[in-house]
Amino acid sequence: MDRDIRTVEDVLRLLDELFAPEADRWTRDAAAWWDGFYSDRNRAVPFFAAKPDENLLSCLDRGLIRPGRALDLGCGPGRNALFLAARGFEVDAVDLSPTAIAWAEERAREAGAGAAVRFHRGDAFALTGSTGELRGPYDLVYDSGCFHHLPPHRRVSHLALLERVLAPGGHFALTCFAAGRMGSELPDTAFYREPGLHGGLAYTPEALRRIFSDFQEVELRAMRQQPADSALFGEEFLWTALFRRPVRPAGPVTRH
């Protein structure tokens, strides 16, 4: 008889098991699935190209974000991590796939960026935990395509990660599937009746604002489509968003 549930993390891991057959990003088999995905570098996958997201460049050029410490979640072959390093950031980048990390490290060596980027293979939720190797505060947490591959219950873990590592006044930026353009629009409960993420979850702007309601919205818009010869990545089926973590006022001084 198993009676193992006593913490929130125990519940989350139990729910993860429902998604194990599909081997989506945050399940026990996800690393192997993504290794297979990244193993053929010649596949016609737009984000395999060494191009940073257009919204990331736009935010930097407009001064919405400034160089500091950055954490790149689900970094893949390192295209955004290396761009941030080239723009003056000190970067930690994490991905479940050893194949993706090896590719990213190879790109970093070719770019001479090894000192500015540290790549980590593993589960970002565990690596940013109390005993993990990724410690805040980070001035920027960047998530390009990771969030929409999370089962609904793992949003709890994602928000907890931001609470742990994002500096007050720091920024969280993401790109994710846009409802009506890409991704599944099933309600959250449906994913537990017939487990599987159906390729990823679509979001509306209203849903993103509700999920990240503890943050200040700086910008939320459709990603700008980029032509094939552009030096930037951009697909119109994605939302891009930039949120700022509020700086909480200090408590009253107690005099003795």
Residue 31, CA distances (Å) to 25, 36, 82, 123 in order:
7, 9, 22, 9
Distance CA 101, CA 74 (A): 10
- pLDDT reported for residue 197: 87
- What does the CA dihedral 12, 17, 21, 27 come to, rounded to 10 degrees? 40
Residue 231 resides in a domain: yes
- In this prediction, residue 26 carries a pLDDT of 45
**Residue 251 domain-assigned?**
no
Judge whether 256 lies within some domain.
Answer: no
pLDDT digits (tens), the chain, 256 positions: 678 889 998 899 888 888 765 444 444 467 787 888 898 888 888 888 999 999 999 999 999 999 999 999 999 999 999 999 999 999 999 999 999 999 999 999 998 877 789 999 999 999 998 778 898 999 999 999 999 999 999 999 999 999 999 999 999 999 999 999 999 999 999 999 887 888 999 999 999 999 999 999 999 999 999 999 999 999 999 999 999 999 987 655 555 5
**CA 210 – CA 186 distance, rounded (Å):** 17
pLDDT at residue 22, as a whole number: 46
Q: Domain for residue 193, yes or no?
A: yes
> Domain containing 213 — which CATH number?
3.40.50.150
The reply to whether 252 falls in a domain is no
| Domain ranges, residue 194 | 8-244
Strands in 166-177's sheet, in edge-to-edge order, are 117-121, 90-95, 69-73, 138-144, 166-177, 238-244, 216-222
The answer to whether position 25 is within a domain reads yes
Domain annotation covers residue 70: yes
Q: How many domains does the chain have?
A: 1
- Report how far residue 80's alpha carbon sits from residue 177's, in angstroms, rounded to the nearest whole number: 18
